[in-house]
Structure 1
Amino acid sequence: MEELHGSLSEPVLDTMNFLNEITHRYPDAISFAPGRPYDGFFDSEQVFACIRRYLDHLAEQGASAQDVRTALYQYGPTAGLIRGVIADSLRADEDTDVPAESIVVTVGAQEAMFLVLRALFAGPDDVLLVSSPCYVGITGAARLLDIAVRPVEEREDGFDPSDLESAVLAELAQGRRPRAFYVVPDHSNPSGTTMGPEAREKLLELAERYDFLVLEDSPYRQVSPGTPLPTLKSRDRSRRVVHLGSYSKTVFPGARVGFVVADQRVRDPAGGEHLLADELAKIKSMVTVNTSSLSQAAVAGALLGAQGRLSQLNAEAAAHYGEAMREMLRQLDARLPAERREALGVSWNEPTGGFFLTMRVPFRVDDARLITSAKDFGVLWTPLTHFHPGAGGHHGIRLSTSYLTRAEIEEGAARLARFVEAQCEAL
């Protein structure tokens, strides 16, 4: 191992594999661990219909039979085949008007993160700030690229811009450059919190004042009930926001299609200007060459079928996920009513959407405790420590409600309550 890159010894790179492995080891356990869409919304025939719709769209736009065949079977442009479709969808659903040329279609949002980090972080003094706890994909990508990460801890009610400003000032005082701040503003993974409108405006103001970019990752907003708050990108008047998009939750994860909106201007030594997206495409050409044309066709067909409106495409799913979250909260309250959980020192937040909520417990939570929960109580969850770039999360549990039926949520909550009671009594 000492002859391999140091990142391979980092616990963050083991998180995904560990959770998959323990799920397979205890197949009879009810799992609140995976942040996966509900299988009941997928129909095998739907994929073929979506691809057919996109091919028909190309023909309607004047493409010849040879052009259509090439689009489907060949590598295709590195920046993506369906940038125009995505740009139209952003205008229709997110009040975001950006040129198609500012979009790069990626292999999931994960590749988008990697491309953006590689392009932006030029030296050892560049620092990535992250709202913590945060999605492990961003911290894992940063570690692979040897990028310094500074966590900005969320408060009980979520992200506070004043904490970010303090972190920025501390980094500047040390002679380092806060290059970008990563955040999931809507129903975040893992905490489930949503950034309020005032905090969003303050964040954009801080980015301009201190000259850093905001990496906005928001895959859960269009699979949540109600009208979402405006994206940061839709309120971005000075090109401070790089928007990371994913169709894994809104269309289907097997397509592995994401995108990045990078409309920032890059000045070259000769005085010319071009888009940051052009630089990201250069990097992509050396990483994945291009995103699967077949996957892009399926996603584009789904978008075209809903006139670009993911909110329309996902109306039924959003209602389902909202009800799943409410059912989980009802079951937790029934199994651990207010008086009992106060006596135990247990609490949880109450997200209005998304896939996740977080529970606080008085005992220490780690992977060994998770194995006990799976083996002796038949219930799985995720230790919050996996989502903290620094120390932290030792008394937190992430619970995902997205993948389970109502009956599974009811039984899983009962098992979880028994586990929590037993651990508290053992203190």
Structure 2
Amino acid sequence: MEHQRRDTRLDLYHDRYAARAFGMKESAVRALFAVANRPEVVSLAGGMPNIADLPLDMVADALSDMIQSPAGPKALQYGSGQGEPMLREQICEVMAEEGIRAHPDDVTVTVGSQQGLDLITRIFCDPGDVVLAEAPSYVGALSTFASYQAEVVHVEMDDDGLVPERLREAVLTLTARGKKVKFLYTIPNYNNPSGITMSLERRKQVLEIARETGLLIVEDNPYGLLDLEGERLPAIRSMENDQVLYMGSFSKTFSPGFRVGWVLAPHAVREKLVLAQESATLSPPTFSQYAVSTYLKVHDWRHQIVVFRDMYRERRDAMLKALTEYMPAGSSWTHPKGGFFVWLTLPAGIDSQAMLPRAVTNRVAYTPGTAFYADDLGARNIRLSYCYPTPERIREGVRRLGEVLNRESQLNRTFGIHPGAHAVHNVESNSPHPDQA
């Protein structure tokens, strides 16, 4: 009697998926959430904003009044695919804080800036097209580009941000090879994950290269208003209207739970974005838009941002102080002037991904640097987030991380792996280091 063969594949639909589905990967940050949220673990991994300083009683009263007002039924209905007009006007006021002069007609409201990036990639990128991105770059952006089968080419950064010469070389080299370079994706303010800020001179140089080569710039700016040292640089979009698509978000300056972001784009691009938005969601959530609009109208949101800055500055300073105290020889890190993140470079011979289980065992979590590269670099790097834990928890988390790193360093010495001669002890750096191992 013949035995009938049984298919042992776990996914019976494997052969039915579109090719682009195989480029989709689990977020390295989301994969850590289950572990990082355990109360005994100090999580320095995720970039979750701290909303404890929001006046929740005021927000609750404002939302209640809004629901009971004549606008209430509108807030619970379908809305425009482009977003509600009153919110788009207020978004222009928010962008004016960074020197951007814009018209509400050129604003498209999105479900967080992440959806904005998805819509931009959808309307611009065919499979095999190239997206240029800083090295390192935001893990959520890299996942979006991969899902549309775009090729990511990283461009070197230093302590002043993106290196213009490397950008020009990348554009010219790729174009000579017949590649279609669709846009440069950049986070010029307090880059996620490195914390580095692109200098004003570099912004001008990058924009000049874009004009010379016809390169489109996608400027992602979720942290721009969260400057911690009193130096707010103008957005790249404030210097150029047609060459730059600008993405913003209320997730870091109000609440991530409402999922409200936006894209500012030239008129022709805006039309395509609205069509893509309508095919994806029909319309961005109307209630969330009314909620954000009400908050901006009834609350002193500019002062609230000052409150957030003071809170995040205290946390950043606590992390930098703890790193100086607890990191072993051969370590270095950035000194962010705003935003949420510090980029840590480990002593030679230590792999951040391989070390993560041992760190979690020691009750501290972080995000390995490899998550922020499309080309497998970053093994010697760690992104540390200071936005959510209290200063005391930050200090304890860095102390626990220091214990793990010291044990790893001791093992390396035992087996004859030593830091390079160039390594320095407990020195802050303003430059992210790619994997040198």
- What residue in structure 1 maps to residue 231 of structure 2? 227
Deviations 1:281-304 (A, max 9, x none): 101101011111111112112222
Q: How many Å apart are 1:334 and its aligned residue?
A: 2.1
1:70-89 paired onto structure 2 within 5 Å: 70-81=73-84, 82-89=87-94
Q: How many Å apart are 1:89 and its aligned residue?
A: 2.6
1:225-264 paired onto structure 2 within 5 Å: 225=228, 226-236=230-240, 238-262=241-265, 264=266
Deviations 1:130-163 (A, max 9, x none): 1121111111111111222211132355321111
Q: Distance in 1 between matches of 2:291 and 2:123?
A: 29
Deviations 1:337-366 (A, max 9, x none): xxxx4xx31111111221101111123334
1:107 maps onto 2:111 in alignment: yes
Q: Distance in 2 between matches of 1:213 and 1:247?
A: 24
Q: How many Å apart are 1:6 and its aligned residue?
A: 4.8
Q: Distance in 2 between matches of 1:53 and 1:315?
A: 26
From 323, 334, 349, the equivalent of 1:363 is 349
1:138-287 paired onto structure 2 within 5 Å: 138-155=141-158, 158-225=161-228, 226-236=230-240, 238-262=241-265, 264-266=266-268, 276-287=269-280
Deviations 1:44-71 (A, max 9, x none): 4333344367679xx8xxxxx3xx2442
Q: Distance in 1 between matches of 2:325 and 2:136?
A: 28
- What residue in structure 2 maps to residue 332 of structure 1? 323
SS of corresponding position for 1:190: coil
Q: How many Å apart are 1:224 and its aligned residue?
A: 2.6
Q: CA separation of 1:11/1:90 partners in 2, compared to 1, >3 Å: closer, same or farther? A: closer
Deviations 1:70-126 (A, max 9, x none): 4211111111012122123323x22211111100100000100011111122x4463
Q: Distance in 1 between matches of 2:81 and 2:24?
A: 32
Q: How many Å apart are 1:246 and its aligned residue?
A: 0.8
TM-score for both structures, normalised by structure 2: 0.85
Unaligned runs of 5+ in 1: 60-64, 267-275
From 393, 399, 403, the equivalent of 1:414 is 399
Q: Distance in 1 between matches of 2:216 and 2:66?
A: 34
- What residue in structure 2 maps to residue 313 of structure 1? 304
1:89-128 paired onto structure 2 within 5 Å: 89-91=94-96, 93-121=97-125, 123-124=126-127, 126-128=129-131
Counterpart code for 2:94: S
Q: Distance in 1 between matches of 2:79 and 2:127?
A: 35
Identity of aligned residues (%): 29
Q: CA separation of 1:150/1:322 partners in 2, compared to 1, >3 Å: closer, same or farther? A: same
Q: Distance in 1 between matches of 2:333 and 2:147?
A: 33
Q: CA separation of 1:419/1:158 partners in 2, compared to 1, >3 Å: closer, same or farther? A: farther
Counterpart code for 1:349: T
Q: Distance in 2 between matches of 1:286 and 1:374?
A: 42
Q: How many Å apart are 1:419 and its aligned residue?
A: 1.2
Work out whether residues 66 and 72 of structure 2, in 8 Å CA contact, stay in contact via their aligned partners in 1: no
Deviations 1:197-254 (A, max 9, x none): 0100011111111001111111112123223100111111x51110011111100010
Work out whether residues 350 and 409 of structure 2, in 8 Å CA contact, stay in contact via their aligned partners in 1: no
Q: Distance in 2 between matches of 1:161 and 1:232?
A: 14
1:288 maps onto 2:284 in alignment: no
- What residue in structure 2 maps to residue 272 of structure 1? none
SS of corresponding position for 2:280: coil
Higher helix share: 1
Q: Distance in 1 between matches of 2:276 and 2:146?
A: 18
Q: Distance in 1 between matches of 2:66 and 2:374?
A: 41
Counterpart code for 1:346: S
Deviations 1:273-324 (A, max 9, x none): xxx11210101101011111111112112222356xx543310111111121
Work out whether residues 45 and 384 of structure 2, in 8 Å CA contact, stay in contact via their aligned partners in 1: yes
1:426 maps onto 2:411 in alignment: yes
Work out whether residues 106 and 267 of structure 2, in 8 Å CA contact, stay in contact via their aligned partners in 1: no
- What residue in structure 1 maps to residue 59 of structure 2? 47
SS of corresponding position for 2:343: strand
SS of corresponding position for 1:332: helix
Q: How many Å apart are 1:402 and its aligned residue?
A: 0.5
SS of corresponding position for 1:13: coil
Work out whether residues 48 and 298 of structure 1, in 8 Å CA contact, stay in contact via their aligned partners in 2: no
TM-score for both structures, normalised by structure 1: 0.87
